[in-house]
Amino acid sequence: MKTKVLLIKADEEPMKAVENPMPNQIYKNPHIMIEERTLGTLDPDKIRIQMLYVGVCGSDIHILKSNPETGYICSSVPVEIPEEGRIIGHEGVGLVLDVGSNVKEIEKGMYVTLESILVCNNCDVCKRGDFNQCRNAKLIGLEVDGVMGNVVDVNSNLAHDVTGYIKSEDDLIAMACVEPMGVAYDACENAKIKAGDVVVIFGGGPIGIYTAMLSKLVFGASQVHVVEPVEFRRNLLREWTKYVYDSLDSLKKNLKEANVIIETSGDLNNVNKVFNIIDANGKVVLLARSGEPLFIDAVDHMITNNISIVGSRGHLCGAFDRILRLHASNRIKLDSIVTSVVNGLEDLKKVLESKDIVKDNCKVVVSLKDINN
């Protein structure tokens, strides 16, 4: 079977004299292209899916951005880009066309949404149930080929049957957004948000908005404050909170104390600049990857007040199931952050190459319903 895919290519040139270089010290001059590929015999443990909608994640955008002086990619997210290129994309919903001989739970004709972390199930971390931190994890669309194609093969254990949730086209689009909502859900759990907490979020992109939505509607925060420099995204945020700011200075003028800080923007200086307003037993949760170091000046404040700083990765350990139930009961609005639906890979390529994708959008979703597109 022939399929068209959107992939990233880059020059592999590790920085000299850097021990254990990160991706932003290995790959240079990234660019995207569309190719036609042939799908071979279906692996016994995989399923073949006609992708219907695929979401564009910040990581897809960031690995395409390069340092203008050095040419190296700006993102430090784990990525492996082989010479033939890496098919990007890890958020989506599709129709199952075929299943491998070992697949039991997924059947042809089902609609499925997909997890984005392939875990080994065998390492010590997996065996204690911490799948998001699997020692041998591979990220779909970054370290192994993703789902930005008309028809793709994926491991069956990534798939969740959402056939019963599909009543309309909007539901299909919503199902393409479960994965990023799962990332936000795990961040809120790692923050241990309690009823009445004051939450500060840096960054009003898809993860930031979902985090604001969940903090208020599901986890019971009394106030959610969000700093986001892009006006378009600030306007979206006002559906979920009245405390929206264009700068850190504006936040500090209006807030004297917070229980939880969630950093989704990648600018880690934000954390240091507000650290003194974190209340006793407060939490700082870091999501966004920029490769930049974190500095904390107020270490005495941290020790005295028992403040915790944690990283948060992934969406496993039950987040998908909870999100689907919250969606079904109308507690959350998965598709409310979708601001553009583009048709086909060619139009998506143009959008990804545009410098205004963040300025004019929150979540971009590509429709791939016509497999000949």
As given in the structure block, the two tokens for residue 162 are 């959402």
321 inside domain? no
322 inside domain? no
Rounded Cα distance between 174 and 248, Å, is: 32
* Domains identified in the chain, total number: 2
User: Please, what's the b/e burial string for 311-320 (b: 16 or more CB within 10 A of its CB; e: otherwise)?
Assistant: ebbbbbeebb
| Domain with 347 in it | 2-176+333-367
323 inside domain? no
CATH number at residue 166: 3.90.180.10
* 200 and 279 part of one domain: yes
CB contact set of 166 (below 8 Å; sequence gap of 6+) = 111, 172, 175
Rounded Cα distance between 284 and 289, Å, is: 15
* 154 and 210 part of one domain: no
- Largest interatomic CA distance in the chain: 62
* 187 and 294 part of one domain: yes
Would you give per-residue pLDDT tens digits along the chain (373 residues)?
899 999 999 999 999 989 989 999 999 999 999 999 999 999 999 999 999 999 999 888 888 889 899 999 988 899 999 999 999 999 999 999 999 999 999 999 999 999 999 999 999 999 999 999 999 999 999 999 999 999 999 999 999 999 999 999 999 999 999 999 999 999 999 999 999 999 999 999 999 999 999 999 999 999 999 999 999 999 999 999 999 999 999 999 999 999 999 999 999 999 999 999 999 999 999 999 888 899 999 999 999 999 999 999 999 989 999 999 999 999 999 999 999 999 999 999 998 888 678 788 899 999 998 654 4
Rounded Cα distance between 8 and 57, Å, is: 14
pLDDT at 372: 45
Strands (DSSP E) found in 115-246: 117-118, 138-139, 151-155, 159-161, 198-202, 223-227, 243-245
* 117 and 197 part of one domain: no
pLDDT at 354: 80
14 inside domain? yes
* 188 and 172 part of one domain: no
Backbone angles phi, psi at 94, to 5 degrees: -155, 175
As given in the structure block, the two tokens for residue 158 are 């990534």
115 inside domain? yes
pLDDT at 370: 67
pLDDT at 12: 95
* 7 and 142 part of one domain: yes
Task: Give CA separation, 211 vs 141, 142, 177, 193, in Å.
Answer: 23, 23, 13, 11
Question: CA angle 224-228-233, nearest 5°?
Answer: 95
CATH number at residue 241: 3.40.50.720
As given in the structure block, the two tokens for residue 190 are 């790692």
* 155 and 36 part of one domain: yes
pTM over 0.75: yes
